[in-house]
Amino acid sequence: RATARLHPLPLLVGALFATYYHLLVAPAPSYYQSLFLSLGSNDTAAAHLRALTVRPHLAGTEANALAADHVVSTLSSLSFPTRVTPYEVLLSYPVGRSLSLSAPGRDATAFALVQDTYPGDPYAAASAEVVPTFLAYAASGSAAAEVVYANYGRREDYAYLASRGVNVTGKVALARYGKVYRGDIVKNARDAGAAAAVIFTDPKDYTPGKAFPDGPWMPPTGVQVGSTFKGVGDPTTPMWASSEGCERVSVAKAMSTHDMPGIPALPVSGRDGEEILRLVGGDVAPEDWQGGDGAPVYRLGPGPAVLNLTYTGNETIATIQNVISVIEGKEEPDRYVILGNHRDAWTFGAADPNSGTAALLELAQRLSKLQNKGWRPRRTIILCNWDAEEYGLIGSTEWVEENRAMLTSRTVAYLNVDVGVSGSGVDASATPQLDELLKQASKKIGRLGGGGSDYSAFVQHIGIPSVDMAIGSGYAVYHSLYDDFTWMEKYGDPMFRRHVA
């Protein structure tokens, strides 16, 4: 059992908060500022993370509502006024999908499209609750066509294919994750004329070492799932809040906008991607389009490999739940400093996003301890736990749209934590107004060994100075079955020190 020690994401969030207090509120460092940075327990952060990740908790599901209950009960136990703000929004779930590979002189192979558990996996039983691998908001439909390999699926990759005389029209585009948002990968395939898109997790980029559970890297059957919606907020209420009884565009209209992919698409594992590429012919792809050691030679196509893809999705209005907790300011209660993190996850969400949720709750407990010592914030602090971020920053965007006038006039800054901890090193970005805050905060936390997120609505819709922060800068099991407490405990943050920092 880990001993109680200071943990780095509440020391990063804490340092940012304490520095913000120093730069914008207090003329000199205070007793409370020092006390705030000294508080914290990695045992507490670990307990929150374990509780939040016991089950997969996709937005709109009963399991995610139970995760919201944990957040509400924790914040309410600290005597912070806490409420749930629900919204009815358009979410996307898979109903059916299939993918088979054929080529002349070869029997067709049907892919299982399953992420394997491993012997002794403590989450094997709960894994049955994980939604089948899919790309949210992909169009329902079928395609049976030759394969064209499109590298990372960027516009310049399709320009290269065109320069080599490779026609993508009516084909199935096969691209790998790694350089651009998956929604752009599918959109670029559509714009190039592809009938469907398949995205694979190339071992060259995601498994350069030992795969989980023997190492931190993506297992052979691991699949990165996610959204392909390029907009933000509820697709049926663009630029206005999804409040009760509000006007909506139809689901059909929402699914036909330029922000939606418009063609069927599926994600597959590195193992499946390489199996497809073994049967793709045509010219050899450039060196920087190739895979890693042991991979087949990647060729451009088209064909002779043929993929038969079918996807059926269910786009439905579902209830999501933001959790909002308020610590009223003593001198300027109508001026807000807002701290936010999302709760929903594609699978178990140990790194993305619940390392950040655990940090937010740990920070709240520190603030409560300060209050018990007589401290009160000068300005009001609002703690926000967002829902449906993974689908397109929906929960935070709806809340900003609903409270736009109040937030525009009263908010001083927004501090965001998404993937709070995924390894070592500090990764933080800010709007220019808060550059100095980051510089000062980094001095306070010292050295730590070894996409867009919910700030978007605050920055782009209402122009609020914002910071996005994390410890670690990307991890291989992102959005896969293997982003669970075991991975975090073994590789992401074994002693849970980074969560507390």
Q: Is 156 a catalytic residue?
A: no
Main-chain phi, psi angles of 252, to 5 degrees: -60, -45
Q: How far apart are CA 266 and CA 276, in angstroms?
A: 14
**One of 274, 389, 401, 402 is an active-site residue; which one?**
389
CA separation (Å) from 27 to 22, 338, 367? 7, 21, 20
Is the dihedral angle over the CA atoms 311, 317, 318, 320 positive or is it negative? positive
Cross-strand pairs, 44: none
User: Three-state DSSP class for 129?
Assistant: helix
C-beta of residue 132 within 8 angstroms of C-beta of residue 95: no
Non-local CB neighbours of 2 within 8 Å, separated by 6+ positions:
42, 43, 46, 495, 496
Q: Give dist(CA 83, CA 92) in Å, integer.
A: 26
DSSP-assigned letters across all residues of 293-342: TTPPPPB----B-EEEEEEEEEEEEEEEEEEEEEE--SSEEEEEEEEEEE
Host H or E run for residue 147: strand 141-149
Judge contact between 171 and 194, C-beta under 8 A: yes
Output the CA–CA distances (angstroms, integers) from residue 404 to 42, 98, 183, 243, 323, in the order listed.
36, 43, 27, 13, 18
- Helix/strand/coil (H, E, C) string of 16-73? HHHHHHHHHCCCCCCHHHHHHHHCCCHHHHHHHHHHHCCCCCCCCCHHHHHHHHHHHH
What positions carry a catalytic annotation? Answer: 389
